[in-house]
Amino acid sequence: MEDLHFSYESKEVLKGVSLRAEKNEIVSILGPNGVGKTTLLRCICNMHRPDSGTVRVCGSDLSAIPSKEMAKLVGYVPQKADVTRTTVFDSVLIGRRPHMGMAFSDRDLEIAWNVIESLGLGDKSLDFVDEISGGEFQKVQIARAIAQEPELLVLDEPSNNLDIANQHITMRMIEHVVREHGLCTVMTMHDINLAAYYSDKFVFVKDGMIAAFGGREVITPEIIREVYGIEADVIDHGGQTVVIPCREQPQYDDIVGAGVGGHRRK
Ligand SMILES: Nc1ncnc2c1ncn2[C@@H]1O[C@H](COP(=O)(O)OP(=O)(O)OP(=O)(O)O)[C@@H](O)[C@H]1O
C-alpha cells in the first residue's frame, strides 16, 4: 500500500498510509476506535476507492482486475456480516466459488469440511447460520475466508464475540494456514495481547497515519501512550509481549469526575 489517502465526503480518514506485508506474515493493525482501521482494510479489499495512492496484492493493482480474480487473491471477513439462511457447511463451501468450474468438486467439499472440523464446527455443519451463536457465526465467516484459499486474508476484528479458548483456536487456525500456505494475513485487533501472541508485525494507527510499524519491539509504553493516551506497562512474559494498563490513569479520574454513565464521584 503506497501513500494511500481516503476521505468520506469531506472527512479525510487516511492521510498517506504506506505499508508492506509479506507472504508468511501476520500483520495486526492497532489503534483506538474510529481511527480508520476498518477503512484501511476496506481500501485493501478494493471496497473503498482511495482518493489517491495504490494497493497491490502479489503485484496486481486490485482496482484493475476482475472480481473473480480478486477473490482468488483476497479473502475478507468484515466486522459485521449479513446473515442469510444457509447451513454452516454451505456458507463455508461458498468460499470455494472463485476456484470452482461448473460445480463444486470433491476437493472443494473436502477443503470446506476440513476447515469446518479444524475450527470445531463439525457438529454444527447442518445448522442454519441464523440459528447459531455470535461466536460460532464469527468462526463460520473466518472458515469461509480460509476455504477460499486467498493469497491475502483480511480480517476485521477476528476475535469478535469469541471466548478466550475460541480466540486462541481461531488464531491458531489462522496461524497454521499462514505458515502452511505462506499466505499473508492483515487484521485489525483491539486486544493488543492477542495480537502480540500471534502477529509478526504491528501497525499502530493514529490520526489517519501510521504512528509505528514493525516487529514486537514497537510495542512500548511510549507508543501506547501516544496512540491510546493511556499509561501501560509492557512486559516480557516467557518470551511473550504483554501490555498491562496501569490501574491509575489520571484521565480516568477526569472521566468519572465528569459523571460519565451517571456515576459522578464525590
Ligand atoms: N460510511 C461512512 N461514512 C462516513 N464516515 C464514516 C463511514 N464509515 C466510517 N466513518 C468514519 O470514519 C472514521 C474511521 O472509521 P473506521 O470504521 O475505519 O474506524 P475503526 O478504526 O475501524 O474503528 P473501530 O475500532 O471502532 O471499529 C470514523 O470517524 C467513522 O465515524
Q: Which residue's CA lies nearest to atom 13 of ligand 1?
A: 34
Q: Tell me the best of 4, 14, 17, 39 to mutate to test the pocket of ligand 1, counting ligand atoms within 8 Å of each CB and taking the most.
A: 39
For the whole model, what pTM was predicted?
0.88
Indicate the average pLDDT of the chain. 89
| pLDDT of the residue at 250 | 72
Q: Which residue's CA lies nearest to atom 27 of ligand 1?
A: 33
- Which CATH number, 3.40.50.410, 3.90.1150.10, 3.40.50.300, 3.30.870.10, labels domain 2-229? 3.40.50.300
**Alpha carbons 40 and 47: distance in angstroms, whole number:** 10
| pLDDT above 90 for 98 | no
Residue 7 forms beta bridges with which residues?
12
pLDDT band at 254; cut points 50, 70, 90: low
Average pLDDT in the 133-137 region? 86
Is ligand 1 within 6 A of the CB of residue 155? no
| pLDDT of the residue at 201 | 97
Average pLDDT in the 209-217 region? 96
| pLDDT above 90 for 134 | no
Instruction: CATH 3.40.50.300 in the chain: give the residue spans.
Output: 2-229
Average pLDDT in the 187-214 region? 96
Is ligand 1 within 6 A of the CB of residue 141? no
CB burial of residue 191 (10 Å; 0-12, 13-18, 19+): middle
pLDDT digits (tens, 9 = 90+) for 218-253: 999 999 999 999 999 999 999 999 999 998 877 766
pLDDT digits (tens, 9 = 90+) for 33-88: 999 999 999 999 889 999 999 999 988 888 888 888 888 899 998 888 787 889 99
Residues 210-220 as b/e (b if ≥16 CB within 10 A, e otherwise) read bbbbeebebbb
* Residue scoring higher pLDDT (70 or 128): 128
Residues 6+ apart with CB under 8 A from 213: 19, 201, 202, 203, 204
Average pLDDT in the 170-175 region? 88
Determine what percent of the chain is predicted with pLDDT higher than 90.
Answer: 65
| pLDDT of the residue at 253 | 66
| pLDDT of the residue at 256 | 60
C-alpha of residue 124 to centroid of ligand 1, in Å: 33
| pLDDT above 80 for 166 | yes
Least confident of 33-37, 112-116, 155-159, 177-181: 177-181
**Alpha carbons 187 and 45: distance in angstroms, whole number:** 12
**Alpha carbons 80 and 16: distance in angstroms, whole number:** 26
pLDDT digits (tens, 9 = 90+) for 235-244: 999 999 999 9
| pLDDT above 60 for 265 | no
Is ligand 1 within 6 A of the CB of residue 189? no
| pLDDT above 60 for 264 | no
C-alpha of residue 34 to centroid of ligand 1, in Å: 5
Task: Show the cell assigned to 103.
Answer: 460445480
